[in-house]
Each structure stands twice: as C-alpha cells, then as structure tokens.
Chains A and B, each alone.
Chain A
Amino acid sequence: MSTFVLLTITGLGLGAMYFLVASGLSLIYGLMGVLNFAHGALITVGAYAAWWFGDQIGGGAWQRLLIGGLFGIVAGAVVAALTELVLIRPLYQRPVEQVLVTVGLALALGALVQGIWGADSQPFPLPGWMIDTTSIFGASVPNDRFVEIGVAAAVLLGLTAFLRYTRFGLVIRAGVENRAMVSALGIDVRRAFTIVFALGGALAALAGVLSGVYFGVVDPGRGTSLLIFAFIVVVIGGFGSIGGSAIAAVAVGLIQQYANYYSSSGTGDLAVVLLLAAILLVRPGGLAPKVAH
C-alpha cells in the first residue's frame, strides 16, 4: 500500500511536468498550427537560467530557487517571444518551414547550452524542506512532489480562468476553433500568437525549473526526453485542449511509474507508447475535440 501511494504521488509529480510542457505545445499548435520542436530547448533554457541565476545571487536555498526560478521563467518567455517574432512570423502560412526552423533552433540552443555549461548534469540546490519526506498512509513521500503537483494544479486553474474569462482568452479560444474567421472579424490574431508563444515558453521553462527540483540536477538532455513524452500527451489529449492535456498527462505519468516499478525499468516508457497506439486506433483525434477549454 505504502509503495502504491508513493508511486501514485511520484507519477502525479511527473505528470505535472508533462502537463506544463504539453499545455503550451497544445495551445501553440491549436492556435497557430506550429509544432514547436524548440519547446524542449526552452525547458533546458529555463532550467539552466534558473540554476545559473540562483548561483549568481547566492543566499539561502529558498531564495535561490524562487528568484532563480522566476528568472528562468522570464528567460523562457523572452526566448519564446523572440522565436515567434524573428523566426516564425516571417514564415507565416508555411507550416513545414516553421517546423524546420524550430528543429534548427532546438539543435542550436541545445548545443549552445551544452557548450557553455558542459554535457554533464549539474546539481540543483534544494531547500531542506523539499528533500524531507512526509508520511502519507505509511509512505514516505519527498515533499518536492507536492510542489510540482501544486504548481501544475495552479497553472491548470489559472490557464482555464485566463482562457475563459479574459478577452485574450476569448480570442485564443476562437482562434483555435477558426483562425480565419477571427481575422475576418478584424481582430489581430498575430498579437495572440506572440502571447501564446511567450506563455508556452514560460510554462516550458517552469517545467524545466520543476524538473531541476524533481531530479535534483539540471541536465542538457532533459528537455528532449520531457518533450517526447509531452508530444505523446498532446496527441492523446487532443490538440488545443488544456483539459485533455491535463488528463492525458496524469494518465501517462501514472502508467509510467506503475509499469516501471511493478514490471521492470523502462517498461513504463514502452507502455505509454502502446497506450498512444491504442488510442490512435480507437480515437484518431485524441481524447478531447479540438476546443480550448
């Protein structure tokens, strides 16, 4: 029982990171039709920016994590917004070229981070409280798992409220459903593009910071591995659907943890791919219809 509880909470923690990456990817794809391959690089940039800035300011572990994390998120948003303005916008309505550009950017950014800080992972200093454990139903759960789950839940609520109750949210939801109609009604969809890209970048960077907390290290290869599972989450959840992403992220995180533990290590990753294949055979459009809600 205690193992099961531990696995469940750890799986939710992993799912939280998948959700943060997938929600950005899903919104960007839903609104603009761009598959952002550089999203993995943004995770890495966020994690390393947080780690580097925390190192620069020094001080206690809490201060380093919070201020460094904030810096990482801003860095992710800025890099993403610049990507959209400089690289994506000139290639408007050429989706394949847009994907290719983000592929080039993913390679270049990843290599740059590796060139500056080395190919080895770097320890990510954590406050003592996060390393401590809390006992739940006899299971000793590391406290950082609650941070990841809490942050993702807050993002889910905030994002849903943003999409449902603000004007920009309305434009984004309408754009996901029918971009041409929104433009025809005289609304500048391109401004929404930049905002969604920056938002996605910030969420990816946040996932990068949380991956530093979850694994205790920052690693140049982490972005790519998180990105691949986030892609799976996006396909299972349905493009452009935040709710679908959340459900799929939880399912993928849990299945991965359970299978890795109860079978052998690595089985979980295979099980997730099988789940993807099964969903595609039954419902090629993913769990949710293409609506941002």
Chain B
Amino acid sequence: MAPPPSSRPSPEAGRTRAPLALAGQTSLRDRLVARDQRALVELIEVASPWLLGLTQSMLRDQDEAEEVVLEVFRIAWDRVGSLGGEHEGLMPWLLRIARNRAIDRLRRRGRWRRKAERAEALGGLGPATAQFQEPDESATPGWHVHEAVHAALQSLPDEQREVVRLAYFGGFTHSEIAKELGIPMGTVKTRLRLAFDKLRVTLASIQDWVG
C-alpha cells in the first residue's frame, strides 16, 4: 500500500472544509426530510461513488454491490427523518448502513469464501477485502475526506491495519482473522482495539461533507 503522495493536502484539510452545499441555503438533510426528490437525486450523485466503492470492494460483485446501494438509498429516503441531528453525519450514516448490509450478505453466502480462495490461488489480492489502493478519482466530491482517512490508516502499524482491513472491511470475525493470520484471538482483539483507539482520535474531528 503506497503512502499518500506528499503533494496532497494534509489530513487536516478534511476537517476544515464546509459541508457540501448542494442547493441554496437549506441543508441536504433538511430537504430530504421535506421529501424533496431533487435532494434525493443530488444525494445519489454525490454518495454513490463512495457507496459503490465500499460495497464493490467488500462483495466483489458489481450487481450485488448495486443492490446494496439501492437498499441504502431506500433506507435513507425512508428514515432520514429519524437520523439524529448532531450525532451522526449523513454520509457516515449511509456508509454504516452499506457496510452492515454488505457484511450481512457476505455472511449469508458461502461463495465469497470460494471467490477469495480462488483470488488468492491466482495470486490476486487475497481475501475479499478492501485494499485502500490509491484511486484516480481525485475529482470526486469527498476526496479530501478519503485522503484524511487514508492517511490515518497508513499511520497504523502494519499488523493493526491488517486486522482492521479484515474485520472492518472484510466482514471476518475474530476467530476467522486469528485463523487467517495464525495468531491468538486475544491478539486480534487487542490489535483491533488499539487500532480503533488511534483512528477515532484522528477521524472524530472530520466534518461530514454532505450537508
């Protein structure tokens, strides 16, 4: 995994930008609550690349990834009114739903394991988990957040980052990770906890960029 190029803005940049202003003065969330269909279209435009990136990397199946993204937007449209005002941003909420749905699907199917094993046998990327590769989508809205998060992950020790990759992005359980890495389950738990303790300090102050 290549470190972020030094020419890029620092992770601090992600914390100081204003939420994306998509239409006039009213926040996107307020417009969604008001059942503004144009707001939904705008949300889809701005959030889809990130939701698709996440779900495709987890599921390794484009059709299934698109199904999950549709589910996420349906839930968002139905339930945005119950989203706690200052407690969770709109984009983190969507991403959390998408990740949970993707993990549910991973656990329902057996073939993901076969796919992962086949990819590994072919010298591919290994288990069906995100690799945090450097993409070429720097014009995508939200890119500054990606940079900040990417940098935060890169700052973790390799062994902690690997556990986060398998657990958070791969849907692996403790015991599966322990088996995969050949380490005790207690070590997996400790690494995950330490990694989250570090990440939360860095990530907590990143503003939601979708109003």
Q: Do A and B belong to a common assembly?
A: no
Interface residues of chain A, those whose CB is within 8 Å of chain B, are none
Interface residues of chain B, those whose CB is within 8 Å of chain A, are none
